[in-house]
Amino acid sequence: LDVGATLHCDADTLVAFAHMGSAYAARISRNPRPRVALLSNGEEANKGLPEIVAAHERLARDPHLNFVGNVEGVDLPRGKADVVVTAGFTGNVVLKMLEGISETVVDLARYAYRNKLAWRAGLWMLRGGILQLKQLTDWRQYGGAPILGFDHLFIKAHGRSSDRAIANALKVANKAVQSGLCEQIAEQLSEVGSRS
């Protein structure tokens, strides 16, 4: 996070995003100690824009987060972090690229299925993995995501949302309300504010 709401971020905002994302992963994904990382152009602490370097320094000293350092774009599909923090412009580009991967894999599979018998047999053997990739990267599966940091819950759904996507967005909203997500984020941000 962020995936589009805040195009440019200073170090304070990136640190706040790290805490909000950690609270979200803990409550919604039920991951008690999510791995938090900054998206940068290198794993080294001194890599990236000045605001990323400054945020890295602060997050590395924060005992309330499981900060694992910087990750690069290549690390995102490898699952090196549960929460990846970046400014909204970059986050939105990454999100759209991941959506495109799923659609491209399905399109290539359809093409291969129609054109070669040997490819059809290969696809049949790979169908479980292809389905898994499609489900993992299909935005309709998630429906929507909360805009974090407010006193009340806001769920942002995709502009192309289908009935299934809206239903899943409502499930996300219900889970967030039931888990006390807004209250947890407010508590975590007030602790960060009192430490800075």
What CATH number has the domain bearing residue 31?
A: 3.40.718.10
What total of structural domains would you count in the chain? Answer: 1
Report which of 72, 61, 84, 80 is spatially closest to residue 2, judged by C-alpha positions.
Answer: 84
Give a yes or no: residue 4 inside a domain. no
Amino acid at 79: G
What would the two tokens of residue 131 be?
A: 């389905």
Number of Cβ within a 10 Å radius of residue 32? 8
Query: 2 with 87: CB under 8 angstroms?
Result: yes
Contact 153, 181 (CB under 8 A): yes
Q: Are 11 and 54 in contact (CB under 8 A)?
A: yes
Residue 156: φ, ψ to 5°: -100, 120
Q: Give the pLDDT of residue 195.
A: 64
- The domain in which residue 40 lies consists of 11-195
Q: What is the pLDDT of residue 110?
A: 82
Helix (H, G, I), strand (E, B) or coil at 34: coil
In a domain, 147, yes or no: yes
Cα atoms found within 13 Å of the Cα of residue 41, Cβ hemisphere only: 6
Tokens describing residue 130: 């292809």
The list of the chain residues with pLDDT below 50 reads none
Name residue 67's beta-bridge partners: 36
**177 lies in some domain:** yes
The model's pTM: 0.81
Confirm whether 151 is domain-assigned.
yes
Torsion of CA 173, 178, 182, 187, to 10 degrees: -160
Six token digits for residue 100: 């495109």
- The strand order across the sheet containing 66-71 reads 66-71, 35-39, 83-85
DSSP code at position 158: P
Alpha carbons 56 and 189: distance in angstroms, whole number: 17
